[in-house]
Amino acid sequence: MARYGNLQIFLFILPATVLVGIFVYAFSAWNVSISLTDWRGLVTSIRFVGLENYLKLINDPIAQKALINTFLLAVTFIPLTMLIGLITAILLCLELKGTSIFRTIFLLPLSFSFVISATMWTWMFSPEQGTINSLLRLLHLDFLCQPWITSTEQSLWCILLVYIWQFSGYVTIIYYSGIRSIPQEHIEAAEIDGASRFNIYRHIIVPQLKGETIGVLTILLFYALRVFDLVYLLTGGGPALSSEVLATYMYRMTFNQNLFAYGASIGTVIFIIALAIMIPFLLLSRRR
């Protein structure tokens, strides 16, 4: 009977295991092998070139710019999104007046796909007919009108704003469920000891959200490092490559210029960076 149960478990997990093995591990290995060649898509002759693509990538000024933009987005997007999500989750737990309406509005971005979000924000950021500048003109605040995504100085920050708007609702849900799962006895004991609401959240509730924080940080980090959808749809990496990130540069090299091997090397670098950041962090968190 036990063998039959184990066989059922094995058969249930077999399809997922096979799919992960093929589409994650096998294709990752294939990507690395391709990055060591000079493959140019439809060209049938493929020559092994070793680390030539990686050496070229190190000296590529556009790749350096894309790497800086990627890290700049990551180090601003992750902490701001987590902070906003945590504060919003705390406000929702306080059950203030109008909380139900606010919860619906704030979690609305979760229902939008990246394509819909990018289309909506592109229209809002339009310098001439966009909602933001039109509203400012209506309020006679013309001096506050900005070029937004058409500016080389503001395009990256506009993308950052959209990403925070898109993901803060998700972080709120994670933290909200984490706060709700904390045993009520802990909070009641603190209240009996005379702790203020602020101290309860600071010393009791927030420290118990380590698991949620690690999960949120992991997911946001991977999204930040492979950021593509909104960047490509909002600016395409422009203007003048001011918002170019590694993922959009990889796409352009691979599918616009047919440099498949060079694009594969960029993808491998993104993967290595993600592992280099996440593995030490997860090991340290596990030890703690």
pLDDT in tens, 135-153: 988 888 888 889 999 888 9
- Is residue 38, in this structure, part of any structural domain at all? no
Amino acid at 77: F
Alpha carbon distance 13, 21 (integer Å): 12
- Is residue 51, in this structure, part of any structural domain at all? no
The arithmetic mean of pLDDT across residues 83-100, rounded, is: 81
- Is residue 47, in this structure, part of any structural domain at all? no
Number of domains in the chain: 1
Confidence of residue 285 (pLDDT cuts 50, 70, 90): low
- Is residue 97, in this structure, part of any structural domain at all? yes
pLDDT in tens, 250-273: 999 988 888 899 999 999 998 888
Alpha carbon distance 198, 190 (integer Å): 11
- Closest C-alpha to 128, from 147, 141, 113, 115: 147
Give the CATH number, domain containing residue 83.
Answer: 1.10.3720.10
Task: Give start and end residues of each alpha helix (H) in the chain.
Answer: 2-20, 27-35, 52-58, 61-93, 99-107, 114-125, 131-138, 155-180, 184-192, 197-200, 210-225, 229-234, 246-251, 260-287
Q: What is the domain extent for residue 274? A: 60-287
- Is residue 76, in this structure, part of any structural domain at all? yes
- Is residue 82, in this structure, part of any structural domain at all? yes
Cis peptide upstream of residue 79 (ω within 30 degrees of 0): no
Q: What is the mean pLDDT of the chain?
A: 85
- Is residue 280, in this structure, part of any structural domain at all? yes
CB atoms within 10 A of CB 64: 12
